[in-house]
A and B are shown apart, each in its own frame.
Chain A
Amino acid sequence: ELKVEQNPLFLSMQEGKNYTIYCNYSTTSDRLYWYRQDPGKSLESLFVLLSNGAVKQEGRLMASLDTKARLSTLHITAAVHDLSATYFCGGGSNYKLTFGKGTLLTVNP
């Protein structure tokens, strides 16, 4: 059974700083997803990573996947307040998606 572990679970950072959220998974996963959730809202798809070495970028967020290390990272560059949210990674195969517990990111002025 796939286990997905994110760290840190809580992240408080200053505007303009860089940081990385890590997502480790326990067994082979066909793909790795990153989602964003604002308080009281639904989940919004950010990235889908399909192969080893995949890197995707959107604005200040960049996600990468290392299937050999069973690790995905979400790198935040020059954080701004609008990035404050909870970020989830998830993986799986055969249409069963398993999520990590999420990382609550707070970006302070």
Chain B
Amino acid sequence: NAGVTQTPKFQVLKTGQSMTLQCAQDMNHEYMSWYRQDPGMGLRLIHYSVGAGITDQGEVPNGYNVSRSTTEDFPLRLLSAAPSQTSVYFCASSYSTDGGYTFGSGTRLTVV
């Protein structure tokens, strides 16, 4: 049971490049979310999904796209990377809101 798997663990992008951060869970969780963590800012919600085919925006969605074609996968796309998107990104999933969310190990992204 792998839990929540995020790839890659580290990435350096040039401004304007695009990329996809992968997130997969094998726990059959309906609820999945993406957060970014910046020093002194805590974690901020980017996008979330309550099931396959259903996504919605969080607190800081600009510059990011998501889709949820399967229960297992919830990729986060950066369309045109900017230095302000330098951050640590965490994916999380849960079977219900009554239980705790399981977080992935994170992706450390640097945009130069």
Contacts and interface: CB of A to CB of B under 8 A. Distances in A.
B100 interface: yes
B101 interface: yes
Interface of A is mostly: strand
Interface in B7-40: 31, 33, 35, 40
Interface residues of B, number: 27
B90 A95 contact: no
A95 B48 contact: yes
B105 interface: yes
Interface of B is mostly: strand
Interface string B34-65: 01000011111100101000001011000000
A48 B98 contact: yes
B106 A42 contact: yes
Contacts of A44: 103
Given A43-B90, A101-B40, A101-B42, A96 B58 contact: yes
B101 A45 contact: yes
Given A42-B105, A42-B106, A43-B90, A99 B42 contact: yes
